[in-house]
Amino acid sequence: MAVLSTTFKAQDHNTEQRTEFEELPNGIFALEIEASDVVPNKAGTGTVLKTTMRVIAPEQYAGRLMFTQFNIEHQKPEVQEIAQRQFASLCRALGVDSCDDSEQLHLIRFIAKIGLGKPSTDGQYPARAEIKRYFFPDEGDLPEPSIDAVQPAKPVAANDNARPAAAAQPAARPVAAAGGSRPWGKPKA
């Protein structure tokens, strides 16, 4: 048990909760890694670096979070190669030549292009914002954070059962089955 230093009164605070989170729009963002963790992959056959990135700019999105993961070690060489290439790009964008502790990557500003990815192939997960490109300070001319003028159409949720008003038709009334029973199989009382 832990005793608070004062009595906390929940009714004195706003408890409104945000329930819908829109993905970040396509654009160029300034970000920094604020947290990271190295964990085994789900199968226990490799290592995943998970990062939590915070948007710094553009200002209207400052503070929003983005989550990434890199399969640093994986049983499939092609998966590992892709992840290591992406991780190397992140390190170069941060100006880090070598890394043996993910905390070395924390709180360093970098610039990246963010775009909407693809939904999962089984349709279970919608398209998510993902890093499409890192910009490297050693190449010079880093772009300023900005939002793309043209954005992709918002995807329709997989469970969105709404129909356009023109297509909506009144529901047909069930027809009584022969013998006075109801269409769902239960006899009239």
Alpha-carbon distance of 136 to 50, in angstroms, equals 21
Which region among 107-121, 151-165, 170-184 has the lowest average model confidence (pLDDT)?
Answer: 170-184
Per-residue model confidence (pLDDT) at position 12: 85
- pLDDT, average across residues 21-32: 91
Look at residue 155 in the predicted model and tell me its pLDDT: 56
Residue 165 clears pLDDT 70, i.e. is over it: no
- Per residue in 53-98, pLDDT tens? 999 999 999 999 999 999 999 999 999 999 999 999 999 999 999 9
Higher pLDDT, 169 or 152: 152
Contact yes or no for 144/28 (Cβ under 8 A): yes
pLDDT of residue 29: 97
**Nearest Cα to 56, choosing from 18, 105, 106, 111?**
111
Distances (CA, A) of 186 to 71, 171, 182, 183, 189: 56, 21, 6, 8, 9
Q: What is the pTM of this model?
A: 0.70
Residue 175 has pLDDT above 70, yes or no: no
Domain boundaries, the chain: 22-147
Greater confidence (23 vs 87) lies with 87
Q: What is the rounded average pLDDT for all residues in the chain?
A: 84
pLDDT of 169 > 90? The answer is no
Query: How far, in Å, CA of 30 to CA of 145, rounded?
Result: 6
Q: In this predicted model, which residue has the larger pLDDT, 19 or 40?
A: 40
- Report pLDDT for 154: 67
pLDDT tens digits, one per residue of 146-164 = 999 988 876 555 555 544 5
- Indicate if the pLDDT at residue 48 is higher than 90: yes
Phi, psi of 49 (to 5 degrees): -100, 120
Residue 179, SS3 per DSSP: helix
Q: Indicate the pLDDT class of residue 17, thresholds 50, 70 and 90.
A: low
Asked if 49 and 72 count as a contact pair (C-beta separation under 8 A), the reply is yes
